[in-house]
Amino acid sequence: MTPKADVAIVGAGMAGASLAAELAPHASVLLIEAEDQPGYHSTGRSAAFWSESYGGPLVQPLTTASGVHLREGGYLSPRGALHIAGESGGAALDALERMFAGAAVPLQRIGADELRRRIKRLRDGWAEALWEPSCADIDVARLHADYLATARRGGARLLTAAAVEQAERSGSAWRISTRAGEVEAAVLVDAAGGWADAVAAACGVAPVGIRPYRRTIAQLRIAPPVPADLPLVIDAAGRFYFKPEAGGRLWLSPHDETPCEPCDCAAEEIDVARAIDRLQRVVDWRVERVEKSWAGLRSFAPDRLPVYGFDPEAEGFFWFAGQGGFGIQTAPAAAKLAAALLLGRAPDPLVAGIDHIPYSPGRLLN
């Protein structure tokens, strides 16, 4: 018998899992995942930080609201971030400060002496920084597992190894062909991350221009070991970031953003080498070994804002995509907002003050 549901969500990464958890008490939900395990793609490859300044002023309300849920659930641990600038980098710090002036993101200017105190063996030339004390690490694996468990408890069914190959609207339902068989649902949610446009096309829906970009992280063994209380260090000019990992290790990214096709991407040696070269211009630390490296997809709409809402031209097709580099830190608020839009209900108080119009798919259709 064909499984039927009110809502079929395509993709069980952080986006699909969080939305399934929000919808399950109100609707029957099928969560359809191409891989054997949910979380194999971007969700399992993130740098796992929560930064209110990341993504700009129209992403910040989602991040800030999500922070309430993440703190209450014990998913955040304090980290703090230093946005550092070289001799000529003051303008980048000014711009960041201006961007959040008056908003609820505390940013504090610090000079070279204080910067040296916070980053040991900092090389000359790094003149000042903005300190973002609220930045935190996120327990991504637990958050994702908890969303899946909540969805399951609410009655949602997870189908794995069930890549959606094609879907068509028939009357008031989607008939969806997956590798694991046919399913039917009144609403189809596209939460397929880097594959969001491809899934839309497979449903006969016009793509909105979501492009995946590769981002690399290397885990390094450093001598002397990295202190556990080192903040996240971000180049104000956008060439690297790094943060400590358990056991005195370092997670380092060259802040790459290479356009690519949706795929199971891997780190390229050149990007790891570039990252290490950039690190060595910042601190006098010895890189002993690259223990591992990986890459994942960050998927952006052309205006780099997420895409949540019903497609105005395709009945029953709901976008929940374009989560870029902020899909973990915005997940709780994004899922609550999207659930309200999908169900036509008043939004949860956590997101009641957030305007959803900037995220509507209609903005991307000509």
Ligand X SMILES: Cc1cc2nc3c(=O)[nH]c(=O)nc-3n(C[C@H](O)[C@H](O)[C@H](O)COP(=O)(O)OP(=O)(O)OC[C@H]3O[C@@H](n4cnc5c(N)ncnc54)[C@H](O)[C@@H]3O)c2cc1C
What residues between 305 and 324 interact with ligand X by CB under 6 A? 323-324
Query: How many residues interact with ligand X (rule CB under 6 A)?
Result: 41
Question: What is the C-alpha to C-alpha distance for residues 262 and 193, in angstroms, rounded to an integer?
Answer: 9
Residue 64 CB, nearest distance to ligand X (Å)?
13
Q: Which of 7, 31, 47, 208 binds ligand X (CB under 6 A)?
A: 47
Q: Which of 19, 29, 31, 41 binds ligand X (CB under 6 A)?
A: 41
> Which CB, 86 or 359, lies closer to ligand X?
359
What residues between 124 and 163 interact with ligand X by CB under 6 A? 163
> Quick one: which of 285, 219, 282, 229 has its CA closest to 78?
229
Q: Which of 30, 173, 250, 328 binds ligand X (CB under 6 A)?
A: 328
Strand partners, 328: none
Task: Mark 35-63 as b/e (b = at least 16 C-beta within 10 Å).
Answer: beebbbbbbbbbbbbbbbbbbeeebbbbb
Q: With binding defined as CB under 6 A, does residue 43 bind ligand X?
A: yes
Q: Which of 5, 34, 272, 338 binds ligand X (CB under 6 A)?
A: 34
Residue 279 CB, nearest distance to ligand X (Å)?
16
Residue 227 CB, nearest distance to ligand X (Å)?
20
Residue 268 CB partners (closer than 8 Å, separation 6+) = 216, 295
What residues between 202 and 221 interact with ligand X by CB under 6 A? 215, 217
Q: With binding defined as CB under 6 A, does residue 55 bind ligand X?
A: no
Long-range contacts of 300-306 (CB under 8 A, 24+ apart): 300/210, 300/211, 300/213, 300/324, 301/208, 301/209, 301/210, 301/364, 302/209, 302/211, 302/364, 303/363, 303/364, 304/55, 304/56, 305/58, 305/59, 305/358, 305/359, 306/59, 306/62, 306/330, 306/334, 306/359
| Interface pattern 235-274 for ligand X (x via CB under 6 A) | ----------------------------------------
Strand partners, 249: 221, 245
> Which CB, 136 or 173, lies closer to ligand X?
136
> Which CB, 39 or 316, lies closer to ligand X?
39
Q: With binding defined as CB under 6 A, does residue 45 bind ligand X?
A: yes
Question: What is the C-alpha to C-alpha distance for residues 31 and 17, in angstroms, rounded to an integer?
Answer: 8
Strand partners, 241: 234, 253
Residue 56 CB, nearest distance to ligand X (Å)?
14
> Which CB, 47 or 354, lies closer to ligand X?
47
Which stretches of the chain bind ligand X, using CB under 6 A? 10-16, 32-35, 38, 40-43, 45-49, 163-164, 191-195, 199, 215, 217, 296-298, 323-329
